[in-house]
Amino acid sequence: MKIIYVITKASEIGGAQIHVRDLSILSKNQGHDILVITGEKGALVDQLETSGVKTKVVPSLVRGINPLCDILCVIQLCKEYYMFKPDIIGLHSSKAGILGRLAAKITGFPAIFTAHGWSFAEGISPKKRKIYILIERIFSKLAIKIITVSKQDKDLAIKNRVSTDEHQVVIYNGVGPSLPTQKTNEESKTVKLIMVARFNKQKDHSTLINSLERLAHLDWRLDLVGGGPLLNKIRKLVDESSVKNKINILGERNDVDELLSSSHIFLLISNWEGYPLSILEAMSSGLPVICSNVGGVNEAVKDGFNGFLIERQDSVMLSEKIEKLICNSELRKAIGKNNYNDYIQKHSLETMHSKTLEVYKTVLEPR
C-alpha cells in the first residue's frame, strides 16, 4: 500500500507527531511505501529519515492563516499527490487536515483525517469554537473517513453536526513499551512527580503550581518536561512561588523514558485534551497518574483504579489527590500495576497500527 501522511509541525514532538512517526515506521517495516509531508524540518523529519522513511518538506504548510501560503500549499500538495500516487492519504493536525483534504478533493485521491482532539473542544473560547465548527462542517465532507482518538471526540463531532456516527471511527492511541519503573524509586523518601507537556494554553501548569504550594510541607520534587511559547511565563511563575526549590523545569528532553522510569507519579493538568499520548507513556511505565477530566482522558483513566481525575482548574482537588499518593506508597504501587495492565490490553502500538491499516483497507474496498 502507498500511503502519504501530512502533518504541519515537525520541530516539536507532540502527540500527533509521535502518532505519525510510529504509524509511518511500523508501516514501512511491514513493506508499505510511505511518504511523510511536513511544513518544516525538525526532530520528526530527523527521526523518520533515520528509520528510512521518505519525507518531503512543503514550507507553505504553516500553522497560522496565510491566504497566499495556503493557496500555494494546496498547489504543492496536489503536485506531491500526483507524483507519489498514493492509495490513501492520512491527514493529521487541523491545518494539514484542511489543506490536505482540499488537495485530495482536487486530485481525486482518498483521504482520511485523524482528529487529535478537535479544534472546537471544550476550553476553546466560544467565538473561536463557532468558527472552527463551521470550518470542520465544510471540510469533513472531503474526507472518506474520520478517525477520532477518543469516543468523546466522536460524540463531540456528532453533537456539533460536524460529522456522523457512520463517517467516524474511534481508534485509541497506542505507544511502544517504556522502561519499567525502577524498584529503587520506592526506597526514596522524596517522591518524584513529573509532567510531560508543552507550555501552551492547552496545558494548565499554573493550577498545578498553585496546588503544590499547599503541599510545601511534604517531601516531593517536580520535573516539568517540554517546550513551548509559555515556557518563560511558567518559569517566572515558578520563581515567584513558595515551592520554587522543589520544581525543576527541564525543557525539551530526549530521555523521557528514563525520566518516567525514575519517577513516582505522573501528572497531566490541562484545559482541554484529545486522547493524550503522554498518559499512555506513563501507563506503560507503570506509573499512577493524576489528570484533568477533560476530552477523552476519562476513557483512559478510571478514577480510583489506574489514577485520579480532577475537574478542570480545581487546584484544591488536585492538592488532595497528589497528597494522597505522596503519602501512600502502597496505593501508588497498586494503581501503577493497574495502569500497566490496562496499557498491555488496550494501548499497545501494534494494536493502534493494525486497527488503522484495517480502516484503510476497508475504505479502499470496491463498493
Same domain, residue pair 137 and 9: yes
With residues binned 3-state (H G I as helix, E B as strand, rest as coil), the percentages for the chain, rounded to 5, are 45, 20, 35
The CATH code of the domain that includes 8 is 3.40.50.2000
Same domain, residue pair 187 and 170: no
Same domain, residue pair 197 and 72: no
d(CA 367, CA 364): 9
Same domain, residue pair 47 and 153: yes
Domain count, the chain: 2
Contacts of 349 (CB under 8 A, 6+ apart): 22, 26, 174, 175, 176
- pLDDT given for residue 65 in this prediction: 85
State how far the alpha carbon of 81 is from the alpha carbons of 5, 26, 35, 200, in Å. Answer: 11, 22, 10, 33
Same domain, residue pair 337 and 202: yes
- pLDDT given for residue 277 in this prediction: 86
Name the nearest CA neighbour of 292 among 309, 280, 277. 309
Same domain, residue pair 219 and 325: yes
Same domain, residue pair 292 and 355: no
Same domain, residue pair 223 and 167: no
Same domain, residue pair 311 and 356: no
Q: Work out the angle between the directed axes of helices 349-364 and 15-29 (0-180°, nearest 10).
A: 70
- pLDDT given for residue 293 in this prediction: 95
Domain limits at 25? 2-174+348-364
- pLDDT given for residue 254 in this prediction: 83
Q: Work out the angle between the directed axes of helices 94-107 and 67-84 (0-180°, nearest 10).
A: 60
Same domain, residue pair 153 and 295: no
Same domain, residue pair 33 and 148: yes
Same domain, residue pair 156 and 235: no
- pLDDT given for residue 51 in this prediction: 96
CA gyration radius, the chain: 21
What is the C-alpha end-to-end distance of the chain, expressed in Å?
Answer: 19
- pLDDT given for residue 182 in this prediction: 56
H or E stretch at 33? strand 33-38
Tell me the H-state helices in 216-364. Answer: 231-239, 256-261, 277-284, 297-300, 315-326, 329-346, 349-364
pLDDT by position in tens, the chain (length 367): 999 999 999 988 888 999 999 999 999 999 999 999 999 999 999 999 999 999 999 999 998 889 999 999 999 999 999 999 999 999 998 899 999 999 999 999 999 999 988 888 877 788 888 999 999 999 999 999 999 999 999 999 999 999 999 999 999 998 887 655 654 455 678 999 999 999 999 999 999 999 999 999 999 999 999 999 999 999 999 999 999 999 999 998 889 989 999 999 999 999 988 888 899 999 999 999 999 999 889 999 999 999 999 999 999 999 999 999 999 999 999 999 999 998 888 888 888 999 999 999 999 987 5
Buried b (16+ CB within 10 A) or exposed e, 93-121: bbbbbbbbbbbbbebebebbbbbbbbbbb
Contact 152, 296 (CB under 8 A): yes
